[in-house]
Structure 1
Amino acid sequence: MTEASYIFLAGASRGVGREIAINLTEQNQKIKALLRAETTRPELEAMGIKIVMGDALDKTAMEQAMQGDTIQAVISTIGGLPKDGERADYLGNKNLIDAAVKAGVQKFILVTSIGTGNSAVALPPQAMQTLGAVLAEKEKAEQHLIESGLTYTIIRPGGLKSEPSTGNGVLTEDYKIAGTIHRADVAKLVCRCLFSQVADNKILCAIDRNMIYGQPEFTEFTV
């Protein structure tokens, strides 16, 4: 990534997105973070992050958010509750992807979830029943990204925990794997993929090697 360009981060206010923001600032990367609400703005600005306000469900706002600065890469961890019948999981990410294409962004990293797309086989039927609607939205976002022409990395974490990094987070192309991982470890893996060409145009599952369900045998993907 070049010195003068920004990494555009959607989802920096909490969870994996916040952990990514911490990682990137520790690496002295320039970050432009999208916020929908002002709540976490002072905290992020104190970390040296440039803030742009806007709702990912607003297509025009996303195009404007990516203007004015050179953006090398976009990372999106957004998702959550439906608003006006539309989930940010698909529509919000679609708007970000389209804006990234328009802005000439080089790379887009999308964080979704194990259970999305072909990894549905990794989850028990009960979990798929509960999460089915949101996973379908995430799958639509993944497909839109793949078809966008952008260089992409899709990362599907397992069950997330908000505990300190274990350092045991791993990536795999094995879509049948399931397990748990700490958000801080997902963030580290995302940041490694950001600067690694071997992760380009890959769909990767992220789990903690010590918190795998059922199937212990799998091949790690090294970035």
Structure 2
Amino acid sequence: MTKIFLAGASRGVGREIAKSLITQGNHVVALLRSESARPDLEALGITVAIGDALDADAIASLVAKQPFDAIISTLGGKPTDGERADFKGNRNLIDAAVKAGVKRFILVSSIGTGDSAAALPPQALETLGAVLAEKEQAENHLTASGLTYTIIRPGGLKSEPPKGSAVLTENPNIAGSIHRADVAHLVVSALTSDRANNKILSAVDRTMLFGQPEFEDFAL
């Protein structure tokens, strides 16, 4: 049984990852900032840890409580939020992982960060600029941490059921949409793939690309 510390499981991609991890028989500890999502997660068989990702000491304590095989983070916020966890929360998780000796860290980021900025239209970059800048800081902190990492950058997120046509690529110029459940499947698959070690990958659905680009799939 693999022990996973999951941050961001209260909703969205994080919730889908939680479901997928449990289905595959993993032990999951989910970090929550409030109690609101606790009943739903515990009903799935997930252990809940209450804490604020922006509190470095609290996060270090939670991560050190038991030996985790990996940390997965989908932490993030909206441009209209106040203090976001996109950088600070993820930085605290990364530092806690290093301190506790966790070997594997998967960060769910976003197309538009780093060398994938050119994949988005200028209007999108302007709207999301502050969030993407923080996500890029988190990516850089992770790649410099010494942890074995995988960074997955999804495109525009949709909440429909999984389509099964989602792919990963190392090409940073690809953009499109993808269903949250499909992102979760890719993240969980990357968890057990040595090929994904120390890779930065964009995640899109082949049927929902912006334009008709040619690119090479990254097989896990």
Global fold match (TM > 0.5): yes
From 54, 61, 64, the counterpart of 1:64: 61
From 31, 35, 46, the counterpart of 1:34: 31
- Quote the offset at 1:70 in angstroms: 1.0
Contact kept? 1:81, 1:88, Cα under 8 Å? no
Q: Distance in 1 between matches of 2:115 and 2:213?
A: 19
When the two structures are aligned, how many residues end up with a matched partner?
220
- Quote the offset at 1:82 in angstroms: 7.4
**AA of the residue aligned to 1:27:** Q
Counterpart in the other structure of 2:143: 146
Does residue 1:116 correspond to 2:113, yes or no? yes
Task: Tell me the SS of whatever aligns to 2:6.
Answer: strand
Contact kept? 2:175, 2:210, Cα under 8 Å? yes
Cα distance change, pair 186–84 in 1 and its aligned pair in 2 (3 A): closer
Does residue 1:136 correspond to 2:133, yes or no? yes
Cα distance change, pair 59–88 in 1 and its aligned pair in 2 (3 A): same
Task: Tell me the SS of whatever aligns to 1:71.
Answer: coil
- Quote the offset at 1:81 in angstroms: 4.4
Which structure 2 segments of 5+ residues have no match? none
**AA of the residue aligned to 1:151:** T
- Quote the offset at 1:46 in angstroms: 1.3
Q: Name the stretch that deviates more: 76-85 or 143-152.
A: 76-85
Task: Tell me the SS of whatever aligns to 2:89.
Answer: helix
Does residue 1:186 correspond to 2:180, yes or no? no
Counterpart in the other structure of 1:17: 14
Q: Distance in 1 between matches of 2:143 and 2:83?
A: 21
TM-score scaled by length of structure 1: 0.96
Q: Name the stretch that deviates more: 87-96 or 212-221.
A: 212-221
Q: Give 1:97-108 correspondences, 5 Å limit.
A: 97-108=94-105
Counterpart in the other structure of 2:168: 171
- Quote the offset at 1:216 in angstroms: 2.6
Contact kept? 2:111, 2:117, Cα under 8 Å? yes
- Quote the offset at 1:166 in angstroms: 0.2
Q: Distance in 2 between matches of 1:82 and 1:95?
A: 21
TM-score scaled by length of structure 2: 0.97
Task: Tell me the SS of whatever aligns to 1:191.
Answer: helix
Contact kept? 2:79, 2:131, Cα under 8 Å? no
- Quote the offset at 1:86 in angstroms: 3.4
RMSD: 1.4
Contact kept? 2:112, 2:125, Cα under 8 Å? yes
**AA of the residue aligned to 1:130:** T
Q: Distance in 2 between matches of 1:140 and 1:152?
A: 15
Q: Distance in 2 between matches of 1:199 and 1:69?
A: 25
CA offsets per residue over residues 27-86 of structure 1, 9 Å max, x none?
A: 010001100010010111111111110000000010011122110000000111479953
Q: Distance in 1 between matches of 2:175 and 2:12?
A: 20
Cα distance change, pair 83–179 in 1 and its aligned pair in 2 (3 A): closer
Cα distance change, pair 210–82 in 1 and its aligned pair in 2 (3 A): closer
CA offsets per residue over residues 151-184 of structure 1, 9 Å max, x none?
A: 0000000000011000011000000000000000
Task: Tell me the SS of whatever aligns to 2:76.
Answer: coil
Q: Distance in 2 between matches of 1:162 and 1:116?
A: 22
